[in-house]
Chain A
Amino acid sequence: MSEQTRTWRFAVNVTPKPGILDPQGKAVERSLPHLGIAGVSGVRVGRRVELSVTAADEAAARSIVDQLASELLSNPLMEQYGVEALGESEAPAVTGVGG
């Protein structure tokens, strides 16, 4: 690993696009009366992916995340995504199989 590179942590939040029927969100919404909760609507269930990226600078790291988010983590036909910067990490996160 070059000394020039640093590591940043990001979260990618993937949600169903507006207008796409989200049966999971509807199911959650329908369960709310059983909890005695009222006044909650518009529930949409998505997915959050957190990851670390090592790159020359934060902009380069972010463009990798954007590519990953649009090509793999979301399907633009039915989902939208937002990228959240979680700040610089000390070192690359430990990765590997069997963890």
Chain B
Amino acid sequence: MTTRIGVVLFPGSNRDIDAVNALTVAGAEPEILWHESVDLSGIAGILIPGGFAYGDYLRAGVIARFSPVMRAVAEFADRGGPVLGICNGFQVLAEARLVPGALLRNRGLRFVCRQVTLLPEHLDTPFTREIGERRPLRMPVAHGEGCYYADEATLDAIERDGQVLWRYANEDGSVAGPDDPGNPNGSLRGIAGVRNAAGNVAGLMPHPETAVEAILGSDDGLGIIRSLVVSAGEWASSGRIAGTRPAAAMGGAR
């Protein structure tokens, strides 16, 4: 059975077609989830794509956080379903407190659109398992607010608990600190992507979904997308997939 992955579509999302393509290349069955939808029945995994949800007004990702679909996604994540946020999707997850930390304005103040090199860590997680061996991955970034920030205690804790999954790297393969050339936005400790404590929700600023075929310049992102698909398939076959409604506590706020 093909694994169904929901691609969340907010007003202002613009990487949804890339996400659908990447999931198709990775062998999944993508399904667009409109931002007002709360019906995730049959969905085995969630991908929140990039863009400028709700215009990124106020702060990137914050208005999207309160959308009906995000209440359903939070409940889905609570049940252990795998959720991956890319770029703006990462910002939405961070604002929703589903992953630790916050994304600040790029240190150089400019919108940065270029190739970066990522070093994956912990190759046994739901979002890295299909990468294979630890090697530098090339893929693009395109964002204005991607500077990963958390206080020192949180940074220490997420490093200790294996929650940092990807870091920016310099050309010599070293981790790119905030002021290094390999770090596009000033992210602390070179952090490009993290996961939650439970391990089933992750976000990253770079775009693996636009690096899934050689014709796109790189297929280094495919391992990340495939990891999501494989994890979602396993989660679905574990029997926890369901017709879902937001839990009363989450749906209660109007």
Q: Which residues of A contact B (CB under 8 A)?
A: 20-21, 23-24, 27, 72-73, 75, 77-78
Contact = CB atoms under 8 A, between A and B. Distances in A.
Contact of A23 (B66, B102, B108, B150): B108
Contacts of B59: 75
A75 B101 CA distance: 10
B58 A78 contact: no
Contacts of A78: 102, 104, 149
A75 B107 CA distance: 18
B186 interface: yes
Contacts of A24: 105, 109
11 contacts: A21-B104, A21-B186, A23-B105, A23-B109, A27-B109, A72-B62, A75-B95, A77-B149, A78-B102, A78-B104, A78-B149
A73 B149 CA distance: 18
A21 B62 contact: no
B106 interface: yes
A72 B66 CA distance: 9
A40 to B, nearest CB: 19
A18 to B, nearest CB: 12
A92 B38 CA distance: 33
Contacts of A73: 58
A20 B109 CA distance: 14
A65 to B, nearest CB: 15
A29 to B, nearest CB: 13
Contacts of A20: 104, 149
A2 B47 CA distance: 45
| Most chain B CB neighbours (cut-off 10 Å) among A20, A27, A73, A77 | A77
A75 B62 contact: yes
A24 B150 CA distance: 19
B101 A77 contact: yes
A70 B66 CA distance: 14
A54 B64 CA distance: 26
A75 B108 contact: no
Contacts of A23: 105-109, 186
B97 to A, nearest CB: 9
A78 B59 CA distance: 11
B107 A21 contact: yes
Contacts of B62: 72, 75
Interface string B52-70: 0000001100100010000
Contacts of B186: 21, 23
B15 to A, nearest CB: 23
Contacts of B149: 20, 77-78
